[in-house]
Amino acid sequence: MAPAFWFSASADTAGFTLSMLLVFGSAKLLGEVFERLKQPAIVGEIIAGVLIGPPVLGWIAPNAVLTALSELGVMFLLFRVGLEVKSSELMKVGGVALLVAMLGVMVPFIAGAGIMLAFHTGLIESVFVGAAMVATSVGITAQVLSAKGLMQHPASRIIIAAAVIDDVLGLIVLAVVSSLAEGQVNLAKLATTAVAALAFTWVVARFGTPAMRRIVPTVEARLQAGETQFNIALLLLFGLALLAIYVGVAAIIGAFLAGMALAESTTERVHDLVQGVSELLLPFFLVGIGMHMDLGPFREASTLGLAALIVVAAVASKLIGCGLGALSMGRANALRVGAGMVPRGEVGMVVAQIGMGLGVIPAGVYGVVVFMAVATTLIAPPLLALSYRNVRPAGAVEGFRLG
């Protein structure tokens, strides 16, 4: 009866509320099932998306609203993780993290492109698949480590720092292969992109914390409205996410940097309020990843073999590449760092999507890349749990020693 209109008791609101219930409920249900199977809840939440979404039951499909909620969800996840990380401690591990990120870009790229070339695929298509295997989806790892109270572990810090650098490097790789695909390599433009991304990330990571330590108390003292710290935090979050997009890195990197900048100048109350938003929205991010799963490889024997090979290469190349980079911290930590960099999640999907948009990746290969992106995301949490199994949760405890 009622026409489509906002916050009316119309079919729109009913559909929207139903999808909230469906996404949130199925995520929590499958999360609980996986907890009982001694598996990370996060894997259950992603599988909930595979089940209720287009791959299996088709009860719900991605739309503008769910997409927005999932984007907000991963932004708030990284923001919350940032709030737990001191920039000084991240800067300290910068050298090792840079090595981890660089090897973690090179090895997967060579592995991915190499496999495709071995299958007699064209050069451009092959390097695009390689590029899709580069980017790490840090949100998944961050959530696993944060949920287990392991964010303060040295290996965890390396993972976070390396993932940030990895995003910048991934941006550069993507820019290079995209311009190759378009047939015109503009070196000046590539250099500008790279410098802007690096400069933004470094400046915010380096000067964000001292700046906020001055700005937050000053602003707070002058404003009269309630929950001032939380409001400042949200404005910085949205502002830096937007700036990050403009310089070319992912919005979540901006969100993470915003959190880190505020880590030393906000109260526990701000953490709790952010946690509320994060708890509500995270399932939309995880279910969203699952909903985009492509089960196409299972329908054709030819792509199934390729998909299996690509997934194995995707896991092994990060374990080896990133592990080598972190070997100076000992074997156990090298394994942790490698496992933490395995998930490709939404970032891998985006690269595949761009490749398809440029017409260099055919639908079959697109399906394989998306399958790889989701599969690595499902494999990583148990791998991480395994690699950290001897570590006691530290929570906020300082001076944590590894076992």
Range 9-38, binding a second copy (CB under 8 A): 9, 12-14, 16-18, 20-21, 24-25, 28, 31-32, 35-36
Site string for a second copy, 253-272 (x = CB under 8 A): ----------------x--x
7 lies in the site for a second copy, by CB under 8 A: yes
Binding test (CB under 8 A) with a second copy, winner from 100, 132, 234, 262: 234
Q: Considering only residues 57, 185, 246, 397, which one is a binding residue for a second copy as defined by CB under 8 A?
A: 246
**End-to-end C-alpha distance for the chain, whole angstroms:** 64
CA nearest 66: which of 361, 231, 291, 278? Answer: 291
Q: Measured between alpha carbons, how far is 226 from 270 in angstroms, rounded to an integer?
A: 12
**Which residue in 57, 185, 191, 245 binds a second copy (CB under 8 A)?**
245
State how far the Cα of 339 lies from the Cα of 355, in Å rounded to an integer: 26
Tokens of 87: 């920039």
Locate 352 and state its tokens: 């595949």
Least Å distance, CB 140 to a second copy, is 13
What does the alpha-carbon distance between residue 365 and residue 39 come to, in Å, rounded to a whole number? Answer: 30
Residues found in the chain: 403
State yes or no: residue 332 binds a second copy (CB under 8 A): no
Taking the C-alpha atoms of residue 267 and residue 334, their distance in angstroms, rounded to an integer, is: 34
Residue 301 interacting with a second copy (CB under 8 A): no
Please answer whether residues 249 and 258 qualify as being in contact, where contact means their C-beta atoms are separated by less than 8 angstroms: no
Interaction of residue 226 with a second copy, rule CB under 8 A: yes
The reply to whether 285 sits near a second copy by the rule CB under 8 A is yes
339-398 positions binding a second copy, by CB under 8 A = 346, 349-350, 353-354, 357
Q: Which amino acid is at 132?
A: A
Residue placing its CB nearer to a second copy in the complex, 240 or 335:
240
Residues 48, 70, 317, 377: which binds a second copy (CB under 8 A)?
70
**What is the four-CA torsion angle of 71, 76, 79, 85, rounded to 10 degrees?**
-120
Contacts to a second copy from residues 86-145, by CB under 8 A: none
Q: Six-digit token pair at 297?
A: 């490889």
Q: For a second copy, which residue of 191, 192, 227, 330 counts as binding (CB under 8 A)? A: 227
Among 142, 163, 164, 249, binds a second copy (CB under 8 A): 249
Whole-number minimum distance, CB 247 to a second copy, in Å?
10
Nearer Cβ to a second copy (268/398): 268
Please choose, from the candidates 70, 240, 80, 257, the residue with its C-alpha nearest in 3D space to the C-alpha of residue 151: 80
- C-alpha 287/C-alpha 391 separation (Å) is 29
Nearest to a second copy of 69, 85 (CB atom): 69
